[in-house]
Amino acid sequence: MKKIFSLLYSIFFTTLLAAQSAESSDFFRNIGKIYVVVAVIALVFLGIVFFLIALDRRLAKLEHQIKDNE
């Protein structure tokens, strides 16, 4: 689980830094929309993280049930 968090953490901040350093970010920054772009990226990232956490819990519960039945 820690590996997943570290991977997602690094992907998120790499994307954030790339969005800030790209030429297109100058366009968004000039019109004041860079924060909207960053917020959308953050929401997508958080959605993926919460989905993976929920999936991990479900799988752990199923694995526990399988071990109990054996």
Count of structural domains, the chain: 1
Q: How far apart are the C-alpha atoms of 17 and 22, rounded to whole Å?
A: 9
Over residues 7-21, the mean pLDDT reads 68
Q: How far apart are the C-alpha atoms of 3 and 33, rounded to whole Å?
A: 33
Q: Has residue 22 got a pLDDT over 60?
A: no
In tens, the pLDDT along 39-51 reads 899 999 999 999 9
Structural domain boundaries enclosing 57? 2-69
Over residues 33-40, the mean pLDDT reads 83
**What pLDDT sits at residue 37?**
81
DSSP state of 22: S
Q: How far apart are the C-alpha atoms of 33 and 20, rounded to whole Å?
A: 12
- Grade residue 64 by pLDDT with cuts at 50, 70 and 90: very high
